[in-house]
Amino acid sequence: SVVSRLLNGDPTLRIRQETRARVLAVAEELQYAPNHAARALRRSRSGTLGLAAHDLHNPVYAEIIAGAEAEARERGYVLLLADVDSLASDDDTFRRVMHGGAIEGLMLQRDGQASDRLVTRAAGSRVPVVILNERVRAPLSGVAVDDRRAAELAVRHLIALGHRDIAYLQVNGSNSRARDRKAGWQAAMRAAGLAPDLMVVGGVRPETGYQGMTELLGGARRPTAIFGGTLLAGIGAVSAARDAGLRVPEDLSVVGFHDAWFAEYVTPALTVVRLPLRELGRQAVRLLVQRIEGGAPQQTLISAPAPELVPRASTAPLR
């Protein structure tokens, strides 16, 4: 019983350090590993957490997943990844995951109608759900970063460089991320006495950022700076500007939202505003485990570390 309690991490166990060391040494020698299948059957628990996102190939989600996986592992869980559209549209998969005991809790990156339907269906199951990267209201639980503050930081950087015609490649959708980034752009512009009147939909992918930038360049008033509502939209904007014969940053400055490893290696290296996405993933797991253990729904806004501007070669003073 002493060995069992020690290897299961019983916090009430009181034994001598010499005994603890002997038990752990023998377990190491025998390469002992707990039988998680037997534990799950005995405790009616799977030891697995789920994470569903709209586009698992998005490099921004990779940061969230990395944080969530690290926290889950430290807490003795494994992380199961799923695509939101597949989970929402395939009834058999939904039943096996949400009602068949495959996971103990689900973290969900909501984006679009499919994920909205999934949230509604998941609310009818016994599996706790935490919404990722979004401010939500009870009875939902959510973890968010400070999108508005980050957007203001990005736009203030452009204003400090002398830019006045600053356009926004808008993130579409009705979630708090889209609302907060737009509100941050508007607030920074108005605080500087500027009109926030250059805005087109830029989406979340390079091709939609390219299309939005092309639309702006064809308008009656050409911007001198772009705030991309996502990192990939910012990459698309740089490409569209180059194809239109403009130089970045000599003719057009561009700031992207969020950071990823490749932003430093594109040409020119992209100025971004960086947010604590790994910490978001960790906090989501902590909140989900609290819900699994009977905790009340709550909303967490990550304020530390604060959003950080990372200046690179894609922004320069207005000529």
Summarised one tens digit per residue, pLDDT across range 197-228 is 999 999 889 999 999 999 999 999 999 999 99
Alpha carbon of 121 to those of 82, 90, 191, 216: distances in Å?
Answer: 16, 12, 42, 40
Model pLDDT, residue 35: 54
pLDDT cut 70: percent of the chain above it: 95
Alpha carbon of 261 to those of 60, 146, 220, 272: distances in Å?
Answer: 10, 21, 36, 11
Model pLDDT, residue 45: 67
Residue 105, pLDDT above cutoff 90: yes
Q: How many CA atoms lie within 13 A of 109 on its CB side?
A: 24
Summarised one tens digit per residue, pLDDT across range 274-287 is 999 999 999 999 99
Contact 256, 234 (CB under 8 A): yes
